[in-house]
A and B are shown apart, each in its own frame.
Chain A
């Protein structure tokens, strides 16, 4: 069975705090792809990052960083020095080699000024 779990339903932080959004996945496939999407209050879904199962390198993009660990089946997302504009719902997703997507239930991040 394939599954993506985002245990944090909602997180509130004060601006400039660092925050980590957790994502744990289950799959028996050896080839798979992991994604993070952002859904701001306006509602659209914005692609943030893609990782394939053979690439465990961490990635940093500005204030965003991602930690992929196959040993713990986790693909966590950290925002450094959070800003109000980071307030959104964040979805983690897994895509298997048969092009089936599995989405987590999302984590709502509230960044307060």
Chain B
């Protein structure tokens, strides 16, 4: 089944404790991205990657890191989480071909609480 797999689904952590949210897709998509969703703010892009070893900042990158060492994986790293990073996080992937521009396939989301 074509899908984007995010783990964990739920995470409660303490301020300052490094964490990684994993994201893996099995569709050979070039493009992957991380979003956070907060009430009233919709979906805001954190980082994106156009392909292996190519990453770039989105609209709200502060406090986050990403890497793209393999095409299928795009982990989100919070080196020192803070309470303002409490949010619902989505990983998404898509093709980037020019003539047929597909939408995102989203992961199931990770609800992160930083206390």
Stretch of A17-25, A43-51, A61-69, A78-86 on the interface side: A43-51
Whether B50 contacts A91 by the Cβ 8 Å rule is no
- Please give the distance in Å from B32's CB to the nearest CB on chain A: 11
Residues of B with Cβ closer than 8 Å to A?
31, 33, 40-43, 45, 48, 50, 88, 90, 92, 94, 96, 98, 101-106, 108-109, 111
Known: A35-B104, A101-B33. 16 other contacts (CB 8 A): A35-B103, A43-B109, A45-B92, A45-B109, A47-B103, A50-B101, A50-B102, A91-B42, A91-B43, A97-B101, A99-B31, A99-B48, A99-B50, A99-B94, A101-B45, A105-B41
With the chains together, A106 CA to B90 CA distance in Å? 15
Give the 5 A-B CB pairs with smallest separation, nearest first.
Answer: A105-B42, A45-B106, A103-B43, A35-B103, A33-B101
Q: B101: which of A43, A44, A45, A95 is its contact (CB, 8 Å)?
A: A95
- Residues A85-103 near B (CB distance < 8 A): 91, 93, 95, 97, 99, 101, 103
- Please give the distance in Å from B114's CB to the nearest CB on chain A: 18
A contacts with B, residue count (CB < 8 A):
19
- Please give the distance in Å from B8's CB to the nearest CB on chain A: 14
Whether A105 contacts B108 by the Cβ 8 Å rule is no
Known: A99-B31, A99-B50, A99-B96. A47 touches B104 (CB 8 A): yes
